[in-house]
Chains A and B, each alone.
Chain A
């Protein structure tokens, strides 16, 4: 107790002093208003979650209760590979052209490091990778491209961690529904991911209920409902601005009453730095767990995210014990390398990837395919 007391005191003292100085100075010179965050949102909307839906799911399909069976996972992976190795991916081509150079001099190594960093891999994992590659290749002496590629592949694979269990844990205990809680910062595509996931689950003959526990952002519940209607899944919603935990609770209660297999809970996007909102998230999970255990907590990370993704993952993991990661927007020019440091630090596997705007553009993540895709030449 007393340790904390000192920290608290130090904080209070420092801020008090800052405040005092500010007041003294402020009397002489008014500070211009600026980029000051920190306040919990009193009202208002939240940054948009502008993950678009499938452009035009034909009206006929919208009306249909049963969706057509989604693409088989294999063909999705092929598509992932195609997209990752498309010409828009300088990462893959860069690596190989670099590695097929005659000799590996300092400049080459630097280029290699650069291309890994450019993929948002982060400085730490990059140096690790480079060091390992160097050690490996120096043993073999002058290395040819094929060997370099093999070594690079195995190193990348090790960083991505191929052995993790990447299946979604959908089965609740004793015939109770499994609960998937979807969390993430604003605008990463949580609602869209849930929409796609609902399609997959329905197509796999699971019965499910969606919980629109994003009661904060304008029209978030409607967005989820649109997705739910397309596949004929019921969406439990609460009043806008209501308590998200109670919506989640109601949805789970309904799920139990109806005897469904899975309840998927959508939450409002929240920046990991907002304590109040993170507490709220903890509460949502606690409240659900009074009914049934949460079987899967998915953290949605946007592939364009830079090194901040690590900080996000860290905080979310602490608050709700993340069990899997969904990497969205991988169809853009971003490489999503941020998952490497995230997996490395948290040991939480990437389970799904979002590949585009189509309703079926959600694929299971497979480390080997991912790495192969990165290394494949177009």
Chain B
């Protein structure tokens, strides 16, 4: 839909090469783009204004660094500022000197408090504490039951004296819960409360009463990462009404850019302590300001991609596959390909994964056009081969191909094209791998690439004639990818931050760009 901030800034700065200092005009030109990017990420307008002001101050008179173009330089400033706000007050969870430690959860309806209670329980238990969950959400139908089920799954005790559904006094329950923990020697009490609106005075007062009754060591404000401009009003209302000590961002596993995090951190000055990013009880983690900054700026979330890869990929298996591929002796077979492809698909829709790769902005449209069903067909074809055929596709003769086509419900021409593309691609990937930093292999002959493109074009003349290929931005000009500045895994960033779509791959998208069939 929208280009990334990087792309936008690059276009602003297209004619700026050779300057040694950012002028006011340059800065003004970028300000609007940054503003739009932040607003699209749901950062609150007031916060955006202040933020832009700060960036402007810093950008003025900044020397243009030899190694960075102006766009990258401004981005770096923006990124640093973002991280500063997001991570300014980070701190670990405070435990009471005299147990039990009381943690109170508060937030809007549907922000994920009950789920978070379960996650906190699991996490605390793993840290060697013995947590108790207190069901003080007596309002939503069966919230108490939900907490009980969650507690059971987490293996954590739940204190639920009242059935809920509008019956019972949450203040009394919360107080009794803490008392129960004291007698039974639970050392952390997590109090789940009902969702409430910031403008609902009565319920806010009730929340304040609960707070007064249990005297919590931490009040956590749970907020949905998808929240929009209203985040600030809500956060302020809760800060005034109940008062909170830290923020938990939930539903970060979606694709919301999460600008609310910035708004809340800036307006309330409270740290964001945890990020909740999935439906499993252990999908719960500390908050990383640097990644959030990249996310808000939509800078290609490489670290998240890597992590997903780590989580889903069998490291040994991929290492082996990569090894095979790099050795280039034709050992990388369709079985390895299938394995890797499935691992990739486990991480999410392919278009999403590719979108996360930096430098892929140029081929965004094609990526968006990927139809997962076509990938299913590729899988079907490979599944219709014998293991021996998968390992060594060279042995596929005409009769084998006919059998495979029949077995997978495709045409022989489909099988042919898959096998041929696979061979081409294998060669190409081998040469490509050489160009990636950190991989020791040197570039393979470029001739292959040339020949391959030729093949592809002639391979399907009829279809190609029908639709004129829309040329993608030329590789050299389009891939200005500003690396995120202060990413903690500096080493990794250094290697990957400069990663651009390799020319071979960009090439790949060019002649093939005939759109989805």
- Chain A residues in contact with chain B, CB under 8 A? 1-26, 28-29, 31-57, 88, 114, 117-120, 122-123, 185-189, 192, 195, 216-220, 222-223, 225-227, 240, 271-275, 302-309, 311-312, 329, 331-335, 337-338, 357
Contacts and interface: CB of A to CB of B under 8 A. Distances in A.
B404 interface: no
Nearest to A47: B112
Contacts of B325: 16
Contacts of A50: 107-114, 137, 140, 143, 194-195
Contacts of B353: 11, 15
B417 A120 contact: no
Interface string B435-448: 01111000000000
Contact of B42 (A2, A226, A306): A306
A178 to B, nearest CB: 25
Interface stretch (B6-14, B87-95, B478-486, B487-495): B487-495
Contacts of B277: 35-37
A20 B495 CA distance: 12
Interface string B352-392: 11100100000000110011101101100000000000000
Nearest to B303: A34
21 contacts: A2-B459, A2-B460, A9-B422, A10-B509, A21-B437, A23-B322, A24-B438, A29-B489, A36-B308, A40-B346, A43-B280, A46-B115, A48-B112, A53-B166, A187-B109, A188-B110, A217-B146, A220-B142, A222-B142, A226-B165, A307-B42
Nearest to A42: B280
B1 to A, nearest CB: 8
B112 A306 contact: no
A1 B377 contact: yes
B347 A38 contact: yes
B397 interface: no
B197 A311 contact: no
A333 B42 CA distance: 16
B426 to A, nearest CB: 9
B101 interface: no
A19 B308 CA distance: 10
- Interface SS of A by simple majority: loop
A235 B180 CA distance: 36
A136 to B, nearest CB: 24
Contacts of B400: none
Interface of B: 36, 39-42, 44-45, 107-116, 118, 137, 139-143, 145-150, 153, 165-167, 194-199, 224, 226-231, 233-234, 237, 250-257, 259-260, 275-283, 285-288, 291, 302-313, 315, 318-319, 321-322, 325, 337, 340-341, 343-350, 352-354, 357, 366-367, 370-372, 374-375, 377-378, 410, 414, 417-418, 421-422, 425, 429, 432-433, 436-439, 456, 459-460, 488-489, 491-492, 495-496, 505, 508-509, 512, 514-517
Nearest to A114: B45
Given A5-B418, A25-B492, A44-B280, A35 B288 contact: yes
B40 A307 contact: yes
B512 A6 contact: yes
A223 B146 CA distance: 9
A322 B260 CA distance: 27
A32 B375 CA distance: 33
Contact of A3 (B350, B505, B512): B512
Contacts of A32: 288, 488
A333 B145 contact: no
Given A8-B341, A50-B109, A21 B149 contact: no
B354 A10 contact: yes
B433 A17 contact: yes
Give the 10 A-B residue pairs with the shortest CB-CB distance, closest first.
A306-B228, A187-B110, A37-B253, A306-B42, A218-B149, A36-B307, A50-B195, A4-B374, A334-B230, A308-B256
A223 B142 contact: yes
B425 to A, nearest CB: 4
B391 to A, nearest CB: 17
Contact of A9 (B253, B312, B421): B421
A54 B41 CA distance: 34
B318 A19 contact: yes
Contacts of A338: 228
Most interface-central of A9, A216, A303 (chain B CB within 10 A): A9
A271 B304 contact: no
A187 B146 CA distance: 14
Contacts of A227: 141
Contacts of A33: 285, 307
A35 B378 CA distance: 31
A141 to B, nearest CB: 28
Nearest to B340: A12
A7 B364 CA distance: 11
Given A51-B195, A223-B142, A331-B197, A273 B348 contact: yes
Given A223-B141, A308-B42, A22 B306 contact: yes
B500 to A, nearest CB: 12
Given A45-B115, A307-B41, A9 B425 contact: yes
A360 to B, nearest CB: 15
Contacts of B108: 50, 304, 329, 332
